[in-house]
Chains A and B, each alone.
Chain A
Amino acid sequence: MVVAVMSQPLRRLALSAVFLGAVFLVVALNRGRRDDAGGAAVPPGFSLENVAGAVGIEFSHHGPALDPRIDNIAPLVAALGASVAVGNVNNDGWADLYFTNSRFGFANALYLNRGDGTFADVAREAGVADLNRPGEGVSMGAVWGDYDNDGLEDLLVYKWGYLQLFKNLGGLRFADVTAAAGLRHWMNSNGAVWLDYDRDGLLDLYVTGYFRSDVDFWHLKTTRIMHDSWDFATNGGMNRLFRNLGSGRFEDVTARTGVGSTRWTLAAAAADFNGDGWPDLFLANDYGPEELFVNDSGARFVLTRAGLESDSKSGMSASLGDVLNRGRVDAFVTNISERGYLFQGNNLRLNFLPELGRFQQGAEGVVADAGWAWGAQIGDLDNDGTSELFITNGYVSGDRDKSYWYAMSKVAGANSNVFEDTRNWPAVGTASLSGYERSRVLARHGSEGWVDVGPQVGVTDEYDGRAVALVDLFNRGVLDVVVANQNQPALVYRNTVVPGRHWIAFRLVGSRSNRSAIGAEVTVEAGGIRRLRIVDGGMGFASQNDRRLHVGLGGATRVDRVVIRWPSGARQVLEAPVVDRLHVITEP
């Protein structure tokens, strides 16, 4: 061997060269992971343009002003509340948008889609604007669902304060029926999801708790309100499941069904992960591992070991979708990444529950690292038949040259007795914490894998994004993107897809199932590929997508068949439905 005949000095020289080479290799590998959008070699087949102002949506969020006792970290605590939920309040076939505000005296907005490319805020006339009042709390998000099966979408607003349920009376009027429904509970909630967990045809309600429910942010009795661990916290607000009794009233069945997690849940989503026909609950928890509560025939839920329990991170958002066209519901959960300090990495939980009883991690590269990521959604933005990911991010954008990361790292290393008390936290002042981050738009491009095409398609905003919803706002057969930003203006990205891409969409109306058809699954089979979509009752972070299901088909001009599995368990098959059209399907 060459080494054997080398002298000792030569061997040392050779080792030094290899050593230096290893150092350069580290630099090279690290450069390959910069968060700059490298973009795709092939131009993306779509572009997004913010048209919020042009279409009349001039909504700007205002964060809450809280008790002065927590002023030192107020920018962090009060960094939630921007949300968006897509509904169709007047059944006119055009998607409407509800945005929340989070400061006393600032109104929520209900943007009615006029169908002519413009929107009008009708929240005040409808009675769903003035929700942020002293003694009542402030809005954190909302979800649409027809809880009384009268054919009109009702509205649940979750708050740091009292929940509020609004019955849609028709004629763009809503009535606050919270007390009559038995839902007047003070919760510090940042998420809710409609689901029919017992499949009785009535929408039930799962509301997540973030801060403890005994915390009144405007009259704090204690400053010991924070989490008790950065990795395994269990002292958050309790999540609650409310069963719809069918008489306009709800019953708290949290204890009976075993879903009262106190893990600082930021987002919940419901779907049948294990294929047994019953909707399960997937939770993204801050300061801890995600949780999957598997539905046991509508009687109770069982917290299941599914490869989630030991992977403790900071779950912010739970989005569901068939990411790889496998005909399965996968979950995408956002987390926190910051250069040098923390790489918790987003999770792409590929569903292998039926075979392996667990999820498999599918996130790496740009999928794993989207900065301090918040809301995200999965959808086919370019109608090419594969899914894209839209991810909002950025926590607090203050002074660009001051970062709170180092200061936070001090308390992050402390015992819980220290950081549970806000008084022990260094003051944030005007510092940023993962501020000015650019939203990500990730697309799969053949052998390149996932690529961040954000700047290429026109997404360059650096707002502190929270909620994102995908919706065909202009009924053109493409998914537009609506983003709610914290303390900043909402964005409405109008999508333009290159010609020659086909699509098919479905609006489902339940009969035996809940009328909103929440929980229904639609599998589109075309060209040997199965694409699954689910009707969601809220997913992502503080958001709800268009409940019309959109499937891109690429160049395919024919769909072989469509299989609908309704929440009631009924199965319906459509043979060769025409493409490039919205199909309204009523449950047989």
Chain B
Amino acid sequence: MTSAALPRAWARLGEVDPRYLVSFLITLILVVGEARYGILGGYDRLAIALGVCVVTELALARVVGGRGAALQSAYVTGISLALLLKPQTGVLWPFALGAFLAIASKFVLAYRGRHLWNPSNFAIGLLLVIAPGSVAILSHQWGNHLATNVVIWGFGLLIASRVGVLHVTLTYVVCYALLAVARGAIVGTPVVAELAPITGPMYQLFIFFMITDPKTTVGSMRGRVAVAALVAVVEASIRLAADYHVAALSLLYPAPPILALAIVGPIAKAVDLAYCDSFHKPVTHP
């Protein structure tokens, strides 16, 4: 590749509809994860989650929304649920009900015409809290292959940059790392153990698809940075509570980042919609 080719490729990437880039990235994670590690645990899970998401989106957009269906959103949500939900053996209803609740939440849990939760974040967070006897969350690591991590992170950061949400990703990652070091010092655990979770697929889906979801982030860049940092702080608080065995919060411990975002995200979005004029200035993509 010549020295001029890279900038040309970068520019062409910028011409691609960002929704397609996001879809490409999650498809990449799905294909790599399934081909190398059997991450899905069954194609029926994917078919149900994806199918229910698409059908629900088509139906509700027409019947309730009065708008065209956001099929790309349904696609990303369906794959996210198929990858992240790890229910009991032979149990498929979390994929069906989770998919329905995820898409329906966009229509039901809305404020000033905008939905407050990232759909998959809402559904997964809800299922983990109200159905812990049936549903767990993805706990795989990418085998012991650093290369897989590098590929996903590489594509993820590249696409986050082109979609215009890299600042959210980086803010969260930096805050997570700093707080991990602090937690390690407070609790007395090895820092590498505190940093380790962010290298797993669950975090990659969180970082590249949930916390950066343009539809549920606040309007201003400064606000998005602040919210990302706040999510990291709340997550760190949950993790500290787990380290000190606070029983009252035990339902939050299996997936601290997911539940931190589920707590912080909608509050921030509602405040933004209520007190800022930001919804008139939606996130722009290059």
Contact = CB atoms under 8 A, between A and B. Distances in A.
**Are both chains from one complex?**
yes
Interface of A: 3, 8, 11-12, 15-16, 18-19, 22-23, 25-27, 29-31, 33-35, 228-232, 310-312, 337-343, 345-347, 361, 363-365, 368-369, 401-403, 405-407, 409-419, 423-427, 431
B197 A410 contact: yes
A474 B91 CA distance: 42
Contacts of B97: 22, 25-26, 29
A29 B135 CA distance: 11
A433 to B, nearest CB: 13
Contacts of A229: 141, 143-144
24 contacts: A12-B107, A15-B104, A22-B97, A29-B93, A29-B97, A29-B131, A29-B134, A34-B133, A229-B143, A231-B141, A310-B38, A341-B136, A364-B90, A369-B89, A407-B189, A409-B197, A410-B196, A413-B139, A413-B141, A413-B200, A414-B192, A418-B192, A424-B190, A426-B187
Given A416-B144, A424-B193, 19 more contacts: A15-B108, A26-B101, A30-B133, A33-B88, A33-B134, A231-B143, A339-B132, A340-B132, A340-B251, A342-B139, A343-B87, A343-B89, A345-B89, A345-B90, A368-B89, A369-B88, A407-B189, A414-B200, A415-B146
Interface stretch (B16-24, B60-68, B72-80, B223-231): B60-68
Given A12-B107, A363-B90, A35 B144 contact: no
A15 B254 contact: no
A425 B245 contact: no
Contacts of B243: 406-407
A414 B197 contact: yes
B127 interface: yes
B194 A341 contact: no
B179 interface: no
A417 B91 CA distance: 34
B277 to A, nearest CB: 26
Nearest to B238: A406
A414 B253 contact: no
A431 to B, nearest CB: 8
Given A413-B202, A414-B199, A30 B90 contact: no
B89 A412 contact: no
B170 interface: no
B175 interface: no
Contacts of A16: 108
B196 A415 contact: yes
Interface of B: 37-38, 60, 63-64, 66, 86-91, 93-94, 97, 100-101, 104-105, 107-108, 126-128, 130-136, 139-141, 143-144, 146, 149, 187-190, 192-194, 196-200, 202-203, 239, 242-243, 245, 247, 250-251, 253-254
Contact of A22 (B100, B139, B188, B190): B100
A427 B243 CA distance: 11
Nearest to A15: B64
10 closest residue pairs by CB, A with B: A414-B196, A345-B89, A416-B144, A364-B90, A30-B131, A368-B89, A413-B200, A340-B132, A413-B197, A310-B38
A417 B141 CA distance: 12
Nearest to B66: A8
Nearest to A233: B144
A425 B254 contact: no
Contact of A403 (B93, B196, B199, B245): B245
B127 A26 contact: yes
Contacts of A342: 86, 136, 139
Given A340-B251, A410-B196, A426-B190, A312 B90 contact: no
Q: Interface SS of chain A: helix, strand, loop or mixed?
A: mixed
A26 B130 contact: yes
B131 A423 contact: no
B197 A368 contact: no
Given A342-B139, A413-B200, A26 B131 contact: yes
Nearest to B198: A413
Given A23-B101, A29-B131, A406 B242 contact: yes
A8 B243 CA distance: 48
Contacts of B187: 426
Given A229-B141, A368-B90, A340 B136 contact: yes
Contacts of A363: 89-90
Contacts of B141: 229-231, 412-416
Contacts of B101: 19, 22-23, 26
B108 A231 contact: no
Contact of B89 (A27, A340, A364): A364
Contacts of B135: 30, 340, 343
Nearest to B39: A231
A311 B66 CA distance: 44
Contacts of B189: 407, 410, 426-427
A406 B63 contact: no
B38 A311 contact: yes
B121 to A, nearest CB: 16
B253 A340 contact: yes
Contacts of B250: 403
Nearest to B203: A413
A393 to B, nearest CB: 16
B247 A401 contact: yes
A339 B132 CA distance: 5
Contacts of B105: 19
